[in-house]
């Protein structure tokens, strides 16, 4: 019989355990060490706000771009904000021009990576000390730069990952919207607190993703990144891999560098975006050439565990059904074929083991996140997190096949956008 603890580790992840411990060590070091100075007026910064450019690639974003530009220009002068319209056919260009920012456009849809590359070249953004890559649906917390820019005080840090916060208030009403929003928000909370925080500790720096929704790069490293190689559907995995593969430096991350972003609130958009993200990861992993370093070790360990845990998750409903049916229909336990399969599985796992090793840890993590973030709506969707994780696992496994069968153009279509709510209300929610 598989021990409950072993099953829990396989489902939750050895990586969560290792990097979670690194995160605890990082938190202890920050607590016991000298306090960090976050106010620009108290001492000079390696990178200050007047030295930051904001680059936004936008494809048909008329629903959200005006609000997003209004929000960012409250924090950064409009003269430091640059928009590349990626073959938009709506009012994206017009609204960006009305916001008073710099605007250029591509004649056709070249994809987000291509649009970012065009913006960097057209506006010569490498001259800035740092460039913020900002999605058109994303709004920064007022304290974002106070938290993110000090990460550059470490001269080895060349990129700073933003901390994703789901925009709950713009989500539609209804069960599907609640489930998908709560699930994605919960994933952000777990990955960022239990994985990324430890992975970006300066002593053990190796993370597989600097998300492209609201992240900073030193301007001087941008010319050294192959931002738009052929065949990739998204750019942020590739840019992160490039940082480590070319040994350009480290990645910084602060949980206080918060940015609110819209996540899918309907099944069609959710499946498409999840498949796109998974495909982008596997395409980038396929392109990457391993080296004898910590990043490669982290990546290979993550991939091995991701595949194994995904297979277990996809098989879980069949295992539960196989174990549960004989309890309702005892004759099945001795039926030819089914009986043999039942006993073969029951020798290694039981419904009780699954309950304690899979369901209970999931419930405990949900309760912890609900308490830490003071968001009790997480509890309403609790019965559905496991089925959604199974869906994610199935999509991820299918994306492996796609990554070796299909090449992507990078052209994109954002999930359905919703008009933004008031920033102060969203941040306080």
How confident is the model over 340-367, as pLDDT tens digits? 888 888 888 888 888 888 888 889 999 9
Contact 299, 282 (CB under 8 A): no
Residue 354: its pLDDT value, please? 85
pLDDT tens profile 41-99: 444 467 999 999 999 999 999 999 999 999 999 999 999 999 999 999 999 999 999 99
Contact 167, 140 (CB under 8 A): no
Contact 148, 48 (CB under 8 A): no
H-helix segments, 50-205: 65-72, 92-98, 112-123, 144-148, 175-191, 197-199
Q: Is the dihedral of CA 272, 276, 282, 283 positive or negative?
A: positive
Dihedral angle, C-alpha 309, 312, 317, 318, nearest 10 °? 170
Contact 388, 189 (CB under 8 A): no
- Is the domain spanning 14-290+418-428 CATH 3.40.50.970? The answer is no
| Rounded Cα–Cα distance for residues 1 and 3 (Å) | 6
CA distances from residue 180 to 123, 194, 267 in whole angstroms, order as listed:
38, 21, 8
290 contacts: CB under 8 Å, gap ≥ 6: 296, 299, 300
- 429 residues of the chain, pLDDT tens digit each: 556 555 566 566 678 888 989 999 999 998 887 655 444 344 446 799 999 999 999 999 999 999 999 999 999 999 999 999 999 999 999 999 999 999 999 999 999 999 999 999 999 999 999 999 999 999 999 999 999 999 999 999 999 999 999 998 877 778 999 999 999 999 999 999 989 999 999 999 999 999 999 999 999 999 999 999 999 999 999 999 999 999 999 999 999 999 999 899 999 999 999 999 999 999 999 999 888 999 999 999 999 989 988 998 999 999 999 999 988 888 887 788 888 888 888 888 888 888 888 888 889 999 999 999 999 899 999 999 999 999 999 999 999 999 988 778 777 667 677 776 644 434 444
Would you list the domain boundaries of the chain? 4-11+300-405, 14-290+418-428
Residue 34: its pLDDT value, please? 66
Residue 170: its pLDDT value, please? 76
């Amino acid at each position: 019989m598989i021990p409950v603890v072993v099953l829990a580790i396989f489902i939750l992840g050895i990586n969560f355990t290792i990097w979670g411990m690194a995160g605890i060590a990082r938190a202890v070091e920050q607590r016991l060490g000298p306090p960090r100075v976050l106010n620009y007026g108290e001492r000079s910064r390696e990178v200050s706000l007047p030295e930051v450019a904001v680059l936004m690639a936008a494809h048909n974003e008329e629903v959200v771009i005006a609000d997003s530009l209004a929000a960012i220009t409250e924090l950064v002068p409009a003269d430091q904000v640059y928009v590349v319209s990626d073959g938009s056919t709506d009012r994206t260009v017009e609204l960006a021009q009305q916001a008073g920012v710099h605007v250029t456009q591509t004649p056709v849809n070249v994809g987000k990576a291509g649009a970012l590359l065009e913006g960097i070249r057209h506006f010569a953004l490498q001259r800035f000390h740092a460039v913020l890559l900002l999605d058109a649906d994303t709004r920064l917390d007022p304290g974002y730069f106070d938290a993110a820019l000090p990460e550059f005080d470490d001269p080895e840090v060349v990129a700073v990952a933003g901390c994703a916060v789901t925009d709950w208030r713009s989500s539609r009403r209804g069960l599907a919207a609640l489930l998908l929003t709560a699930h994605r928000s919960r994933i952000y909370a777990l990955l960022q607190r239990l994985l990324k925080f430890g992975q970006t500790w300066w002593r053990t720096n190796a993370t597989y993703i600097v998300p492209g929704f609201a992240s900073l790069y030193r301007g001087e490293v941008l010319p050294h990144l192959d931002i738009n190689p052929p065949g990739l559907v998204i750019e942020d995995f590739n840019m992160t891999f490039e940082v480590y593969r070319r040994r350009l430096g480290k990645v910084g991350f602060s949980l206080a560098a918060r940015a609110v972003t819209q996540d899918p609130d309907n099944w069609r958009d959710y499946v498409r975006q999840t498949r796109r993200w998974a495909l982008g990861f596997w395409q980038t992993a396929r392109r990457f050439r391993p080296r004898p370093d910590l990043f490669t070790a982290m990546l290979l360990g993550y991939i091995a565990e991701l595949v194994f845990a995904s297979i277990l998750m996809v098989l879980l409903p069949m295992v539960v059904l196989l174990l549960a049916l004989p309890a309702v229909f005892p004759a099945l336990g001795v039926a030819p074929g089914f009986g043999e399969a039942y006993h073969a599985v029951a020798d290694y796992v039981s419904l009780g083991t699954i309950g304690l090793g899979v369901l209970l840890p999931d419930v405990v993590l949900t309760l912890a996140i609900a308490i830490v973030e003071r968001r009790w709506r997480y509890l309403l969707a609790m019965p559905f997190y496991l089925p959604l994780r199974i869906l994610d696992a199935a999509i991820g496994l299918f994306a492996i096949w796609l990554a070796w069968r299909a090449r992507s153009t990078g052209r994109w279509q954002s999930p359905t956008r919703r008009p933004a709510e008031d920033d102060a209300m969203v941040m306080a929610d």
